[in-house]
Amino acid sequence: MHLHILGICGTFMGGLALLARAAGHRVTGCDANVYPPMSDQLGAAGIELTEGFDAGQLGIRPDLFVIGNVVSRGNPLMEAILDSGARFISGPQWVGENLLRGRWVMAVAGTHGKTTTSAMLAWILEHAGMAPSFLIGGVPQDFGVSARSGESDLFVIEADEYDTAFFDKRSKFVHYFPRTAVLNNLEFDHADIFPDLAAIETQFHHLVRGVPPSGRLIVNGADDALARVLARGCWSEREDFNLEYGWHAAAIDEGAEHQFDVRRGDRRFGRLTLPMAGAFNRANAIAAIAAAHHVGVRPETAIEALARFQGVKRRLEVRGVRAGVTVYDDFAHHPTAIEATIAGLRHKVGAARILAVLEPRSNTMKLGVVKAALPGSLRGADRVYCYGAREGRNALGWDPAQALAPLGATAQTLPDIDAVVGAVVAEARAGDHVVVMSNGGFGGIHLKLLHALAAREAQARAA
């Protein structure tokens, strides 16, 4: 079958394309911006890409158009598809019907930690010799790709609650029908499509309804929103984590956040020294261990795997060191995740200075729904630089300087990326750690910072 994928360079749709190609389909696709690294992965797989969404692509005449949720009404190619009566389907529905049916699906859902937990789970299964397939919304460093067709019937998928497509406003994950479902946490996000937390809880309820009676829910028992979801109905086995009667991380001592005993109630399975610190990463690890146990992986084996887990790109990923300053890239774009990222970095660097650089880019951020929580989430940083575009598609509908006023002189708001780079480089000194947080490319700011720091160092040497 020939598939033509609209929005192919997104992580999910690009992963879909790679898996479809591996399954023997002919795959082509288009996107508004065809760019690395996804374009390189797709090209290497022999997938032909077209820049833009011109209606002329209707002439490609594929057997099926697969539509990503980046596509909306008014898109010229989509309008032509609708007019022509050509067959089309959403990306998540195609995945559910063509890649997941008949497989043991292990879905990881939650507001935070989906990508990391999915990567941890896939790595545990790989270490245990179970060769899983996976489709993850990021690139696990242990695999180097976001999607892979494995040899077993196990399929790990990141279960996103965002909407499926412009013609299907249900969450993506309702198409997956997992046998093992991890519910990591739940709070309000995606304010562009959900009016309130209760609406997201309803979507999670729909996910739970699709788990078979012989399936298992791995639930963060300490999360009130998830408790409300499960109170509406649970038809499967349930195991809790983050509570002492269930799966939990037992602290060794207060100063060793990355080292803990893995326990299930009173039973101890072993000690895990996780390569990354922070409460969220501990919870992610415990959830992955509990999920892997459902398919027969001994917790001791899972502990061995996670001790060597290399993490996920864009999760406190070091992009380089120049002039003694370390620059990190992180995907954090919600106050809860921002606070966790800074806390994890603080544990790593101790008393060294942290310079936090933030792009409020997500739709929830742009709407200003969580702006009141931003100062608290950034208090762990020594300096804060916020990119506050006043015009264009990245412009905010609120004043970030006003929102960050409680931080006083610690915080600056700057109107363009070059100004942010200039301010950070003027302040940074050897031993500092600059963490850049955005759910987008942020205009290539990471390399700009590194180049500017290198130029400053060269200038100082020449003086």
* Domain regions of the chain by residue span: 2-90, 102-306, 317-462
pLDDT at 272 over 70: yes
> Within 10 A of 63 (CB to CB), how many other CB atoms are there?
12
pLDDT of res. 391: 61
Look at residue 278 in the predicted model and tell me its pLDDT.
Answer: 76
Q: Where are the alpha helices (DSSP H) in 128-193?
A: none
Peptide bond into 375 cis (omega under 30): no
The phi and psi torsions of 291 (rounded to 5 degrees) equal: -65, -45
CATH superfamily for 317-462 is: Mur ligase, C-terminal domain (3.90.190.20)
> pTM value?
0.82
pLDDT in tens, 351-369: 999 999 988 877 667 677 7
* pLDDT value, residue 394: 59
Distance between CA atoms of residues 16 and 384, nearest Å:
37
- 156-165, 298-307, 395-404, 432-441: least confidently modelled range: 395-404
pLDDT of the residue at 255: 59
Confidence of residue 3 (pLDDT cuts 50, 70, 90): very high
Question: Is 320 within 8 Å of 336 (Cβ atoms)?
Answer: no
Residue 112 pLDDT greater than 90, yes or no:
no
For the segment(s) 2-90, the CATH number from 3.40.50.720, 3.40.50.1970, 3.65.10.10, 3.20.20.10 is: 3.40.50.720
The angle formed by the CA atoms of residues 214, 219 and 222, to the nearest 5 degrees, is: 155
Provide the 3-class DSSP secondary structure of residue 152.
Answer: coil
**Which range (43-52, 80-89, 137-146) has the least confidence?**
137-146
Q: What is the pLDDT of residues 143-195, one digit of tens each?
A: 888 899 998 999 999 999 889 999 999 999 999 999 999 999 898 776 677 88
Q: Domain 102-306 maps to which CATH number in 3.30.360.10, 2.60.120.10, 3.40.190.10, 3.40.1190.10?
A: 3.40.1190.10
Judged against a pLDDT cut of 80, whether residue 463 lies above it is answered with no
pLDDT surpassing 70 at residue 36: no
The per-residue pLDDT for range 319-333, each reduced to its tens digit, is 889 989 999 998 776
Task: Between 230 and 32, name the one with better pLDDT.
Answer: 230
Please report the pLDDT score of residue 281 as a whole number.
86
